[in-house]
Amino acid sequence: MFDNQQNPETPRDETGGASPAGGPGGSSIPGPGPYGQQQPGGHRPQTPPAGGGAQAGGQSPYSPYRPAGPGGAQPFVFDPDRYASSGGPGGKRPDKKPKKGRGAVAFAVILCCVLALSGILVGANILYKNSQKGSGGQGGSSQAGVTIQNRPEDGDDGDDAKSGEKMTTEQVATKVKPAVVGIAVYSQQSTVEASGYGSGIIMSADGYIITNAHVVEGAVGLTVTLENDEEYTGKVVGTDTKTDLAVVKIEAQNLTYAEFGNSDQMKVGEDVLAIGNPGGPSLAGSVTKGIVSAVNRTVGGSTGYSLHCIQTDAAINPGNSGGALVNMYGQVVGINSSKIAKTEYEGIGFAIAINEAKPIIDGLIQNGYVKDRVKLGVTVIEINDTTSRLNGLPKGLYIKSIDQGSSLEGTGVQPGDIIRKFNGESTESYEALQAQLKNCKPGDEVKLTIYRSQQSGTDKTFEVVVTLKEDVPNAVVNQSARSKVS
């Protein structure tokens, strides 16, 4: 979950997790809690929805190289005896057919084959294009990953509204609600009844679901409930606590899945809908409406990681987490993640922009974690203008602690040092450091400018070269270790 305020003296754990010694201030959103009871039920067999639809990212069943038909045109062979036996009186043989007629027959046969093959190629191309649309429908299977589409343009085909026109609230709700699910979480402390509830977005016909990491945190069991009340056992594919994103999988086919829109096209003031399960199953499928209050809002979470979010005044409450923020074209543009839970704030909620979430979600599906993300492995406190003046220190990132396995191990850097620059660029804020790290890969060497205050009064500034390590979650490391032992 994310807070919308950051205390400059709050320690930030660059590897994921704020230091408990952080200063006061900021607000946080309570995690999912019990909003009711649900008797655990068994898996009910799925009844596949009627109808077909485009397959997300799937290969068209029709190949452009498919032969036009069995066999082919047989060459013309003239048989004199045959013609003699069937000729006129006296068995006189008819004259030979002119070559011009034979050429016309051959040309006609070739032309028919070309036309037939052209028809197959055109049909296959149309089916292939339809299969690449990949969302907002049903299908037998889909390619794992988020496919983002631009808004409809004039001339595009539209099933729910005229070409290029916005849909009504009713049309958007009808289109998207079947792709939003409820998630019941069972923890080690509560295996009989759900300990919390959240929402999720079906992203593929074969059962991949997007939600928030805090929704499934600590889960030993998950029940996923579709809009038609069918229930499935869910399995966590991967989580990323830094971005509060997770992917869940259910064993199902032909599911109605969401269409994802380009969140970079969102504008302040346009209408949006939030769809989810506030409070749990008793309020499942709730739809609230609001506007986009701000775009590209940088929001930091308790892990110290910052994301670009869409701010909205559409009602988002506990249980909505992991649900959909939808534009008026029926496209999911954000994943609802947090709400300021303070009495003095109203109508301020955040959704992780889908363009920001896409690489995280794709990485979770492919690897179970975000591969090739680097870390320094430090907990830091921002030294701003005020704290700089009060403590007689330069602005930068004060190193509160260094983690085991940090990229800084062996460099001589120690707690109490201040990171002033990263490859010659200022690091006066945690967001600036994160932006620089996002452009790096494991194994890259970077130069840090470090300030150290000494009791002798002789302060010094020096540089170190750091080889960046990959930020692999402990759960993945432990799983790998168990695999090697077995």
- Annotated catalytic residues are 214, 244, 321
| Residue 274 structure tokens | 């939030």
| Helix H or strand E segment including 467 | strand 460-467
Segments in 304-448 forming alpha helices (H): 354-367, 385-391, 430-437
- Closest C-alpha among 49, 7, 18 to residue 205: 49
Measure CA 189 to chain center: 30
Side-chain half-sphere of 278: how many Cα atoms within 13 Å? 12
For the purposes of burial, counting CB atoms within 10 Å of the CB of 312, is it exposed (0-12), middle (13-18) or buried (19 or more)? buried
Q: What is the DSSP letter of 283?
A: G
Strand partners, 231: 225
Beta-carbon contacts of 129 under 8 Å, excluding residues fewer than 6 positions away, are none
Give the gyration radius of the chain's Cα atoms: 31
Backbone angles phi, psi at 437, to 5 degrees: -70, -30
Longest Cα pair distance anywhere in the chain, in angstroms? 132
Beta-carbon contacts of 428 under 8 Å, excluding residues fewer than 6 positions away, are 382, 383, 384, 395, 396, 397
- What is the Cα–Cα distance from 319 to 357, expressed in whole angstroms? 20
Residue type, 198: G
- What is the Cα–Cα distance from 257 to 210, expressed in whole angstroms? 11
Residue 219: other Cβ atoms inside 10 A? 23
Residue 368: other Cβ atoms inside 10 A? 18
| CB-CB contact of 22 with 7 (8 Å) | yes
Residue owning tokens 């396995």:
405
- What is the Cα–Cα distance from 207 to 219, expressed in whole angstroms? 19
| Residue 65 structure tokens | 């190289």
Measure CA 116 to chain center: 41
Q: What does DSSP say about strands 271-276 and 286-301: parallel, antiparallel, or unpaired?
A: antiparallel
Angle at 97 between CA 96 and CA 98, to 5 degrees: 110
Residue owning tokens 């701003």:
384
| CB-CB contact of 99 with 214 (8 Å) | no
Residue owning tokens 């292939």:
128
Q: What is the DSSP letter of 120?
A: H
Residue 269: other Cβ atoms inside 10 A? 8
